[in-house]
Amino acid sequence: SARLSAITGCQTDRMTRDSGWRLLFIGRLLERLSFLSQTLEMALAGQVLGEVEGFEAVMSLFDSTITFHARHQQRRNLVTLCDLLVLDDENPRALAWVIRSIRSHLDKLAALQGGNQPRLAELLPNPDHWDTLALSTGAHTEAQLIDLLDQLSHAAWALSDAIASRTFT
């Protein structure tokens, strides 16, 4: 982990912010989006979030344990989970933050490449359009969340394929 962090630090700190760097960063974010959305979907399907160990394992996988305990202390429920891991704009492991970052980098990449092509960011669901009230407090929260996670997982792969098609073929 320390060695991978060192490599990531070198990539982040020492590379020129050109198209190659943006593609590298977008790729890392797409991997994160795919992994985290699939992980959360499996946790919901396996019904492990109702157990302390399962909930803590998900927080650990999202690298959000400290933030969760600082904000929500011992309130382990779907509302607090959605707040931190899905909707939070300040948590770099939250799905909304990841999508906004990908969209931003895609727009900057398009500007570097002339900006005359259709926006790839449109392949991702827009967090601004997520019904946050229903997602965090509704009676059908789990079903809505599973549907959203499935959309995000598929969107990550579709965007990856679109970037590869546009950039490398």
The H or E element containing residue 51 is: none
* Complete DSSP assignment for 77-116: SHHHHIIIIIS-SS-TTSHHHHHHHHHHHHHHHHHHTTS-
At residue 167 the predicted structure's pLDDT band, cuts being 50, 70 and 90, is confident
The predicted-structure confidence for 5-29, as pLDDT tens digits, reads as follows: 777 666 667 666 677 788 888 999 9
**Model confidence at 57, in pLDDT bands (50, 70, 90)?**
very high
- In the predicted model, what is the mean pLDDT of the chain? 85
What letter does residue 120 receive in the DSSP assignment? G
Overall average pLDDT of the 45-51 stretch: 90
pLDDT at residue 44, rounded to an integer: 92
pLDDT at 42: 94
- Cα 89-117-11 angle, rounded to 5 deg: 50
> What pLDDT digit, counting tens, does each position of 103-141 carry?
999 988 888 777 666 788 889 999 988 866 566 555 577
Q: What per-residue confidence (pLDDT) applies to 136?
A: 59
Checking if the pLDDT of 76 tops 80, the result is yes
How high is the pLDDT of residue 97? 96
Q: Which helix (H) or strand (E) holds 74?
A: none
| pLDDT, mean of residues 57-74 | 89
Query: Are the C-beta atoms of residues 144 and 135 closer than 8 Å to each other?
Result: yes
Helix (H/G/I), strand (E/B), else coil: 75: coil
Using alpha carbons, list the distances in angstroms from residue 145 to 79, 113, 150, 153.
11, 35, 9, 12
Taking alpha carbons only, the member of 88, 108, 103 closest to residue 30 is 103
Q: What is the DSSP string of 139-153?
A: TTHHHHHHHHHHHHH
Two structure tokens written together for 33: 């989006």
Please tell me the distance from the alpha carbon of residue 39 to that of residue 43, in angstroms, as a whole number. 6
Q: Is the pLDDT of residue 145 over 60?
A: yes
